[in-house]
Amino acid sequence: MLRFMFVGDSMTIGSAGEHTWRYWMWRHLCATLGAPFKVVGPREALYDKVAEAPTSYAYAQPDFPRRHLAGWGEGWLHMAPLIGDAVRRERADVLLVSLGLIDLGFYTNAEQTAANVRAFVTAARAANPRVAIAVLPVIPNVRAHDDAAFAAEVALFNELLAKTVADLDTPASALLLASPPEAYDIHYDTYDGTHPNERGEQKLADAYAQALSQAWDLGSVPEPH
């Protein structure tokens, strides 16, 4: 039985009242994987914007496995030290990772963020030498739309991420770079220029579903919504 772990920042943990893209990905796997699987992770809460803490369980759709390793305001910098223990304890086989925007926005430049990607992969493989990791590029947000320097940093990181994935991919422990969601528009697919609304959540899930199907033959290519 494959054990999937969602790893991400605020777009992955989601906030009170959201489905999150994790829900849509779980639905896709249930419908198309063709084998039992489990969603694992050390956390399960949503972020509560009023309390400014990950203390909410008010999912728009509560009836799904809510485990994850995601955090509001957390990036590669924060997850690299945590991933080894999480993979080991949860016995994760497949990591679906969406990180980087918060790093570039507040903590590290493109080169430093890419170095943290390497540290993350190294730690995950130390815990499970056969772990498979699918990574989503950073999706430019409203800040990238308004700030040319930040947009350039995002573009540079995505180039470095692609090179890092190509360099670290191995037959024993596959490393996959998913394509950005098709026709993703921050004006229609987010509620604030960064965080996905329900339409954006489905597009994020579809990006992973397409990558897993085409590269690893896990599930099927999603149908257009």
* b/e 166-185 (16+ beta carbons within 10 angstroms → b): eeeeeeebebbbbebbeebe
Does the pLDDT at position 69 exceed 70? yes
Please name which of 184, 79, 188 lies closest in space to residue 135, comparing C-alpha atoms: 79
Q: Kindly indicate the confidence band of residue 223, based on its pLDDT and cuts at 50, 70 and 90.
A: confident
Instruction: Kindly list the distances between the CA atom of residue 201 and the CA atoms of 39, 148, 198, 217, in Å, as whole numbers in the listed order.
Output: 18, 26, 5, 22
Q: Where are the alpha helices (DSSP H) in the chain?
A: 10-13, 21-32, 76-90, 101-102, 110-127, 142-146, 148-168, 198-216
Token output for 114: 């890419």
| Homologous superfamily (CATH) for 2-216 | SGNH hydrolase (3.40.50.1110)
Contact 204, 136 (CB under 8 A): yes
Give pLDDT tens digits for 79-89. 999 999 999 99
Q: What is the pLDDT of residue 222?
A: 81
Q: What is the pLDDT of residue 221?
A: 82
Give pLDDT tens digits for 21-37. 999 999 999 999 999 99
pLDDT exceeding 70 applies to what percent of the chain?
A: 99
Average per-residue pLDDT for the chain: 96
Domain-wise residue ranges, the chain:
2-216
Pairing outcome for strands 132-135 and 175-177:
parallel
Q: How far is CA 140 from the centre of its chain?
A: 15
